[in-house]
């Protein structure tokens, strides 16, 4: 039983976002509801009341208190942030950067957001202060949810004021709601844009977008090189963009008995032909295959691709989007059947390309899965 979590949930449901003794009937009634939901005996009510009153002491009183556990110390920091959040814009900015994003991120509009929060009615202002300053009960594991009343108001304020360089402003709100960090890299792969104790999550408006799932691994790059070289031998030209159609053209032809027979004949001719052009082409094909039989290449490609896909989805375990007042979340591994190779050892129609050594997929597929 985690008493701190019970206190957090209790305070979360209160209009002020916290309670101090003596507690009124409404506050105690809500506490009893929380205890029932956590399957905790009402005998713990006094213990929780005592703990929650300690949390609201002044700094001096805390300093005189007995040593605390790490959880309690962290809880005190959260309550300090909760109390001090709106004391000044400088304090507001310091708490946000420390808790939710790195100093390197260029965030515009914090001053407007601070002013807009201060101009809200007391009950709204106090609840937004709690959302920012207290540890959230939201997490990726629990999946899709509808925004609470004050979460929705805060979301609207964030959208009206916040801009983040190269990132959607919704990530600002999401990082606070999930009590995690905004993660940003400028490489060519989508490696997740929110980082929590549960791992990375990637939030976006996926509809009608080409989404980069991540970089191809060494094994996948090796078999892809074979595919590209076979392409140049078969069609006397180079792949232009390593698209799904180009890759599948090679994989399809390598499953055609006539093509396989011609290629095997070419390989055998290296030992008998006197024509240097044919010998060179035969030796090139042999080198390209890297000791693989021609018939094996499509199956090897599919196996390497599926393994790489599984790794990429595991590296970023959650994906999500916002629509209206709903936050939709799925586990990334649920997308594997949508993106893996077909039973015929070819790339699915949901794959866009393997350009720049990066797996790019059709984002509408992710969007449809989120809303399923």
Residues contacting 220, CB < 8 A, separation 6+ = 304, 305, 307, 308
Residue 274 phi, psi (nearest 5) = -105, -5
Contact 293, 260 (CB under 8 A): no
- pLDDT tens over the chain, length 372 residues: 567 778 877 877 787 777 888 889 888 888 888 888 777 777 777 776 666 554 443 333 323 333 333 444 444 445 678 888 999 999 999 999 999 987 678 899 999 999 999 999 988 998 899 899 877 778 898 889 999 999 999 999 999 999 988 788 899 999 999 999 987 765 544 556 898 888 899 999 999 999 999 999 999 998 998 899 889 888 889 888 899 999 999 999 999 999 999 888 877 877 777 777 767 777 777 777 777 788 889 999 999 999 999 999 999 999 999 999 999 999 999 999 999 999 999 999 999 999 999 999 999 999 999 999
Residue of 128, 132, 130, 88 lying closest to 111 (CA atoms):
88
List the chain domain ranges. 1-84, 91-182, 221-236+248-294
Q: Which two tokens stand for residue 249?
A: 């053209």
Element (H or E) spanning 296, and its range?
none
Element (H or E) spanning 173, and its range?
helix 170-177
Bridge-based pairing of strands 318-323 and 163-164 is unpaired
What's the CA angle centered on 41, arms 35 and 47, to 5 degrees? 80
pLDDT at 63: 30
H helix and E strand count, the chain: 17, 11
Residue of 73, 85, 70 lying closest to 17 (CA atoms):
85
* pTM, 2 dp: 0.75
Contact 129, 148 (CB under 8 A): no
Residue with tokens 């140049």, as numbered in its chain: 232
Q: Which residues pair with 330 in a beta bridge?
A: 319
């Amino acid at each position: 039983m985690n008493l701190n979590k019970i206190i957090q949930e209790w305070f979360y449901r209160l209009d002020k976002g916290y309670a101090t003794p003596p507690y009124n009937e409404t506050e105690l009634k809500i506490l009893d509801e929380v205890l029932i939901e956590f399957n905790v005996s009402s005998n713990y009510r006094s213990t929780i009341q005592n703990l929650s009153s300690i949390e609201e002491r002044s700094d001096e009183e805390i300093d005189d208190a007995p040593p605390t556990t790490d959880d309690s110390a962290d809880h005190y920091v959260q309550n300090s942030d909760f109390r001090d959040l709106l004391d000044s814009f400088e304090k507001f900015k310091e708490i946000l950067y420390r808790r939710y994003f790195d100093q390197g991120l260029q965030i515009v509009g914090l001053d407007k957001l601070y002013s807009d929060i201060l101009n809200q009615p007391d009950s709204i202002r106090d609840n937004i202060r709690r959302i920012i300053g207290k540890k959230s009960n939201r997490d990726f594991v629990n999946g899709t949810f509808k925004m609470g009343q004050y979460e929705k108001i805060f979301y609207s304020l964030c959208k009206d004021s916040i801009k983040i360089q190269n990132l959607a402003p919704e990530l600002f709100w999401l990082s606070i709601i999930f009590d995690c960090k905004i993660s940003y890299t400028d490489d060519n792969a989508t490696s997740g844009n929110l980082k929590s104790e549960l791992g990375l999550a990637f939030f976006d408006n996926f509809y009608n977008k080409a989404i980069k799932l991540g970089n191809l691994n060494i094994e996948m790059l090796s078999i892809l090189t074979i595919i590209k070289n076979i392409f140049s031998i078969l069609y006397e030209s180079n792949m232009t963009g390593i698209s799904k159609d180009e890759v599948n053209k090679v994989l399809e032809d390598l499953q055609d008995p006539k093509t396989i027979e011609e290629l095997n004949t070419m390989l055998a001719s290296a030992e008998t032909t006197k024509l240097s052009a044919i010998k060179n082409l035969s030796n090139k094909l042999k080198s390209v295959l890297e000791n693989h039989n021609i018939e094996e290449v499509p199956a090897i490609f599919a196996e390497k691709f599926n393994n790489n896909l599984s790794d990429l989805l595991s590296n970023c375990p959650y994906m999500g989007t916002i629509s209206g007042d709903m936050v939709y979340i799925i586990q990334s591994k649920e997308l594997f059947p949508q993106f893996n190779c077909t039973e015929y050892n070819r790339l699915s129609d949901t794959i866009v390309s393997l350009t720049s050594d990066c797996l790019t997929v059709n984002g509408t597929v992710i969007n449809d899965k989120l809303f399923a």
